[in-house]
Structure 1
Amino acid sequence: MSGGSDQINAIYINGDRRNQCFLTSGISFHEFANNIPSPLRNVLLLKHDFEWTDYNYHTLFEYVEEENIQRLISADVKQFREFCWIDFDDVNDLEEMEPIEIAELLYLAHKKEPMGKPFFALLKNKYVYLSPDDGWLNKVYFRRLQDFAGLLSKVIPYKLGAFGKKRFVLFQKNKIYPAITRAVMEHMLPWTEDGLLIDLENKQETKRGLEIPLYVVGSYTNADDVMENLEELRAQAQDRAWLIFDKKEQEWKWETE
């Protein structure tokens, strides 16, 4: 079973900070691309069904230049059979790729793991994005761990604006929440190592503000094992905390039980 992240009112993260890799469920490519610290420039497509592409005859890969990146971000990626890509700095660098590097890219897309390091000095890629089912199960390598922290600090508030919309109400304004502070992220990131569930479905509006329950539920590589057993995982959680938006102080806070 699978489902897009727009149907998932939760985010699950199985983090491996040592290898700079994060497996997530509940964050789509659209949400990823709109919340990473630095905008995507050029994208080398390893597996996809996107039509607005250019073709590189040296690597035999298709790619998307900056002028078409917004088309890619707006595409219905969920409908692609698979979606795997890496970003790169300069189109001319594709012509300089060695056969072993091209082979490493093919292996990366096929096995969803690198042969060696997932980052290519020539391409200067910041990300390796590997998804067999976008939004339901994504595996992403980050060259800089702070880029993942930056993504998560923005994507949680971003998703809050997408939930609970009543499309038939005219002129409804969504609440806008600021990015989560660095201090809070320093508490949250270690929890991803043991499987962090951010339970947006059971967020609570209180006099103080907005409270989102967090659970350490264990490390899983299959999103079905998490998203189809949320009630049981909440009950058996190893640790619990709250991500709180204090409306008086207009900032996010972290509280453990």
Structure 2
Amino acid sequence: MRRVRDVFYINANFNEKYFIYYGMEFKEFIKHNPIKIENILVTEGNYIANNFNRSWFLETANGKNDILELSKEDIYGLGNFHWLDYNNEVDLNSCTPEEKAEVLYLSHFGKPLNSPFFSGINNDFVYLSHDDGWFCKLYCKDMCVFKDIIANKIIESFSTNKRRKIYPMPEDIKEEILELTKKGLLIDFSNIYRDNKCISLNYYTIGHYEDMDEMYNNLERNKYRADVKGIIEHKNKSWKIQSRNN
């Protein structure tokens, strides 16, 4: 049964250039991503697309409209949903059998034989999700892209009142939040505090989890035992992070 995504957990591995996260669905990833993805090769997931690539025997989504329509589908119902982006059809069809084998190995086993990034297709991401919003392993060529994704998700959660303007998050705050993902960052959207001047939510660093059942089923204990607890706050047109060690 689909559960409400009331927290956003991000476990970063900067050495191997990936994030493991819970609490963000595919449609949010597309919406909040500062890199506009034009082409997707679906390597796992029973997605029925208008485009079938006969060189790969896989479905593709091409152009902003295709990807927007895909984001409206029941991705959760697909179970596994794996894809990587690519430049264009010519480059995709020019991949060698060895490159195709590496892509499919990465999709199946969740780790690369060599690199998750392929010069022939110039991909920025490899997206390996299970039960949309429950588990995703995202290889990310530029890890700093994720600081904007996190910031945009927080800003959207704060922007429920049209009469209240939420100002852009400055780079130093984004950097500080991204740094916290190295310790396993949990952002709690379940209890956002609001008054006339301030909006805030709590965050915790709870360590490194790859099993989202273990992370989520022990959520209260994990928050209680967090190494660092703090608040992300928007007040008087500015952003602030307050933290304290346990």
Does TM, normalized by the shorter one, top 0.5? yes
| Matched residue count | 243
Q: How far 1:153 sits from its partner (Å)?
A: 1.3
After superposition, residues 111-150 of structure 1 pair within 5 angstroms as: 111-150=109-148
1:209 aligns with 2:198: yes
Write the distance in 2 (CA, Å) between the matches of 1:177 and 1:96: 46
Residue 159 of structure 1: how far off its partner (Å): 3.7
- Aligned Cα RMSD in Å? 1.9
Q: Which amino acid aligns with 1:238?
A: D
Pick the aligned partner of 1:91 from 89, 92, 104: 89
Aligned CA distance change for structure 1 residues 34 and 178 (closer, same or farther; 3 Å): farther
Deviations 1:109-162 (A, max 9, x none): 111121111001011111110012211101101111221111111122224457
Q: Who is 1:167 aligned against?
A: none
Relative to structure 1, is the Cα distance of residues 75 and 183 closer, same or farther in structure 2, using a 3 angstrom cutoff?
A: same
Shift of 1:178: 3.9
Once the two structures are superposed, the pairs formed by residues 102-181 of structure 1 within 5 Å of their partners are 102-161=100-159, 173=162, 177-181=166-170
Q: Is the 8 A contact 2:9 2:185 kept in 1?
A: yes
Matches of 1:60 and 1:159, distance apart in 2: 39
Counterpart residue type for residue 52 of structure 2: Y
Q: Is the CA contact (8 Å cut-off) linking 2:188 and 2:203 kept in structure 1?
A: yes
Gaps of 5+ in 1: 163-171
What is the one-letter code of the residue matched to 2:241? Answer: W
2:217 equivalent to 1:228:
yes
| TM-score normalised by structure 1 residue count | 0.88
CA 104–239 in structure 1, closer or farther in 2 if over 3 Å, else same? same
Q: Say whether the 8 Å CA contact 2:47–2:59 is kept in structure 1.
A: no
From 237, 242, 245, give the equivalent of 1:255: 242
What corresponds to 1:19 in structure 2?
16
* Larger mean Cα displacement after TM superposition, 151-160 or 112-121: 151-160
Residues 17-42 of structure 1 show CA distances to partners (whole Å, capped at 9, x for unaligned) of 12220001001100000010021100
**Mapped partners of 1:44, 1:179: distance in 2:** 33
Q: Is the CA contact (8 Å cut-off) linking 2:48 and 2:59 kept in structure 1?
A: no
Local SS of the residue matching 1:192? helix
Q: Secondary structure at the match of 2:121?
A: coil
AA matched with 2:18: C
TM-score normalised by structure 2 residue count: 0.92
Question: Counterparts of 1:89 and 1:26 in 2: how far apart (Å)?
Answer: 28
User: How many angstroms apart in 2 are the aligned matches of 1:222 and 1:91?
Assistant: 36
By percentage of residues, which structure has more strand?
Answer: 2
Deviations 1:48-71 (A, max 9, x none): 222223122222222111041211
Q: Distance in 1 between matches of 2:221 and 2:2?
A: 19
In structure 2, C-alpha distance between the alignment counterparts of 1:119 and 1:179, rounded to whole Å: 31
Does the 8 Å CA contact 2:147/2:177 hold for their aligned counterparts? no
The 3 A distance-change label for structure 1 pair 179 and 45 is farther
Instruction: Give, in angstroms, the shift of residue 251 of structure 1.
Output: 2.6
Identity %: 27
Say which is worse superposed, 47-56 or 15-24, in terms of deviation: 47-56
Distance 1:108 1:178 in 2: 39
**Preserved CA contact (<8 Å) 1:157 1:176:** no
- How far residue 179 of structure 1 moved from its aligned partner, in angstroms, is 4.0
* Residue 193 (structure 2) pairs with residue 197 (structure 1): no
Q: Which runs of 5+ in 2 are unaligned?
A: none
CA drift at 1:174 = 8.3
| 1:35 pairs with 2:22 | no
Structure 1 letter corresponding to 2:183:
D
Give me the whole-angstrom Cα distance separating, in 1, the residues matched to 2:46 and 2:100.
Answer: 20
